[in-house]
Structure 1
Amino acid sequence: MDADEDVEETGGAARTVRLTESHAGQRLDKALADEMPDLSRARLQALIEQGRVTLDGAPVSRAGKAAPGLYDILIPALAPADPAPEALPLPVLFEDAHLIVVDKPAGMAAHPAPGNETGTLVNALLHHCAGSLSGVGGVARPGIVHRLDKDTSGVMVAAKSDAAHAGLSALFATHDIERTYIALTRGGPDPARGRIETQIGRSNADRKKMAVLKSGGRLAITDYRVQQVFGAPKKPGGAPMAARVACTLHTGRTHQIRVHLASKGAPILGDPTYGSGSPVQPVKDAIAAASLKRQALHAAVLGFVHPITGEALRFETDPPEDMRMLEILLADL
């Protein structure tokens, strides 16, 4: 084994490990962990998924087997172990001794991570709940049992007791949760109603992105329905300029709705990662006038059975101002 380590100015580290023929055929995460006992397999799996492990300059696949060669591992600096409570605006929809349901604003990350160490939902919950927050999720994300992307707004639930955390986690694991999102898209999916069922995993071309895969990945199922179209198609049978689409999740994969709608040729407006191509000029003008600076995606409905009391709970919120304004402007196209 040949390993070198250079500490970066950011506090992270870049390490190089040479695997030999003796490692061939082993799981890559295991082979690397054997050579770097200070890093767990789970930590290495996460680094591989994030595209931070490369072989001869090319990102490697988590599912891949070890091959002889030089592996570069970029290890980002760890976030502080104990997020600080912060008095942040937090629209609370429901709260009892076991759980809290909030309407997360766009621009707020769910939990601390490199680049978002403060101002997160966890920071806000630690202040609001004043110590009564489940620690099952680990110190970096107490109470969190699911998440929304930083720039996606909408309904989220967090656990305040360990029993609620376990119960909610079980509901999400078995998909016994009602989840509906509202998206404003470029063009519109065709047909106007249907189910998208694919495998989703890390993109082979860009490890920072998710993608629909022909093999590998995890099953992802989204039902969608076009609720309204904006801007008449230029030709019969053509796509409208934009659409409002309701999406119901049956699984909860990373970026699932964003990837699925893009795969149907109707990416979410304002999506910087999956919104390939540009909307027509009137739609671009509407986006600018509405001051939309994020993907137009809102988690509108969250329904579940309270894991402790057995009460059926359902919460629904309207999209925030930027999406509402964009809809008004699109309606005039």
Structure 2
Amino acid sequence: MQEKEFIVLEEDEGNRLDVFLSNELGEMSRSFIQKLIKEGNVLVNDKKEKPRYLVKEDDKIRISIPEPKVLEVEPENIPIDIVYEDEDVLVVNKPQGMVVHPAPGNYTGTLVNAILYHCRGNLSSINGVIRPGIVHRIDKNTSGLLMIAKNNNSHNFLAEQLKEHSITRKYEMICHGVLKEDNLTVNAPIGRHPVDRLKMAVVPNGKRAVTHFKVIKRFEKYTYVQAQLETGRTHQIRVHISYNRHPLLGDSVYGPKSSKFNLNGQVLHARTLGFIHPTTKEYMEFTSELPDYFQKLLKILD
């Protein structure tokens, strides 16, 4: 059991207890912190309080963090759309709504559970038991192409290309409003949101982030856009296009809370993926079809 103590400063007075701890412990989700509070693992001045308790200056807060459980990720016979496969690499077309790898609240039904079954364990071990073979990720509600490494040599080779920004990653999306520019590059550093620790934001001390946007088609109130990543920060496309005041349609985190189209998340599809093969050293590029809901939405807007 790990224990941490905090003294509330004047500028933090009036924050909810769960928000205060979430800000102090940026690596932990607010829902996990709420769970610890409800289970009695958080004491305020040696007393139990509820997550909504408003902290006061000089409050002494002690949190006991249980040791993480050793997780075993089980293979699951989940159908996956395989675009390409050989002894080194697997390219899959992830559907919207599928989580890439297990995490609190999503230990089953993930892409990792599916590829463990499909590959019979023949995956790289570099990212541990929770993320075997996973070289890069896309959000749960983003669909599209992902490359999976089937051995450690392939993983290192592909990861180096990511580091050098030499992998081709083109997304297609629909955003709110009408973009005036045919081509737009957003070069703005991204880091953890200063208040909402579950979000990312453009912040001065963030990591370098560059996205190239290109208009495919304009509609009356929306724009169909291609986005090409130069860097790959968490939520990069969503943050950059929202920063430009044209948030993604269906993105309730960085845009309007509701959409009249009854969507299940942001309209964002990783359509094109290109990389140099780890063994043949030849450049390979793959393109996937837009999901049905995306195609229907384009017809409605046209």
User: TM-score w.r.t. structure 1 length?
Assistant: 0.73
Other structure's SS at 2:208 match: strand
Deviation at 1:188, TM superposition (A): 2.9
The one-letter amino acid paired with 1:107 is G
Other structure's SS at 1:218 match: coil
Deviation at 1:293, TM superposition (A): 1.3
Distance 1:219 1:161 in 2: 30
Tell whether 2:257 aligns with 1:273: no
Q: Please give the residue correspondences for 1:209-220 in structure 2 after superposition, counting only pairs within 5 Å.
A: 209-213=199-203, 215-220=204-209
Other structure's SS at 2:224 match: strand
Structure-2 residue corresponding to 1:100? 90
> C-alpha deviations, 1:136-173, integer Å up to 9, x for none?
11011100010000110000001001100111111111
Which of 267, 287, 297 does residue 316 from structure 1 map onto?
Answer: 287
> C-alpha deviations, 1:274-317, integer Å up to 9, x for none?
013767xxxx2xx13xxx21110000000000122212110011
Q: Please give the residue correspondences for 1:236-275 in structure 2 after superposition, counting only pairs within 5 Å.
A: 241-275=221-255
> C-alpha deviations, 1:180-209, integer Å up to 9, x for none?
000111113332311000011111121110
Distance 1:201 1:152 in 2: 20
Aligned CA distance change for structure 1 residues 111 and 174 (closer, same or farther; 3 Å): same
Deviation at 1:268, TM superposition (A): 0.4
Aligned CA distance change for structure 1 residues 256 and 327 (closer, same or farther; 3 Å): same
Other structure's SS at 1:144 match: coil
Which of 48, 61, 70 does residue 26 from structure 2 map onto?
Answer: 48
Tell whether 2:274 aligns with 1:303: yes
Deviation at 1:221, TM superposition (A): 0.1
Distance 1:124 1:169 in 2: 22
Structure-2 residue corresponding to 1:153? 143
- Count residues in correspondence: 265
Q: Please give the residue correspondences for 1:20-169 in structure 2 after superposition, counting only pairs within 5 Å.
A: 47-50=25-28, 70=60, 75=65, 78=68, 81-169=71-159
The one-letter amino acid paired with 1:120 is T
Distance 1:118 1:74 in 2: 27
Structure-2 residue corresponding to 1:228? 217
Aligned CA distance change for structure 1 residues 276 and 309 (closer, same or farther; 3 Å): same
Q: Please give the residue correspondences for 1:181-196 in structure 2 after superposition, counting only pairs within 5 Å.
A: 181-196=171-186
User: TM-score w.r.t. structure 2 length?
Assistant: 0.80
Deviates most, 116-125 or 185-194:
185-194
The one-letter amino acid paired with 1:48 is G
Deviation at 1:75, TM superposition (A): 4.6
Aligned CA distance change for structure 1 residues 320 and 77 (closer, same or farther; 3 Å): farther
Structure-2 residue corresponding to 1:64? none
CA contact (8 A) 1:226 1:243 kept: yes
Distance 1:73 1:313 in 2: 50
> C-alpha deviations, 1:37-80, integer Å up to 9, x for none?
xxxxxxxxx952446699x9xxxxxxxxxxx9956557588465
Other structure's SS at 2:96 match: coil
Structure-2 residue corresponding to 1:26? none
Distance 2:244 2:67 in 1: 37
Aligned CA distance change for structure 1 residues 75 and 247 (closer, same or farther; 3 Å): farther
Distance 1:245 1:79 in 2: 42
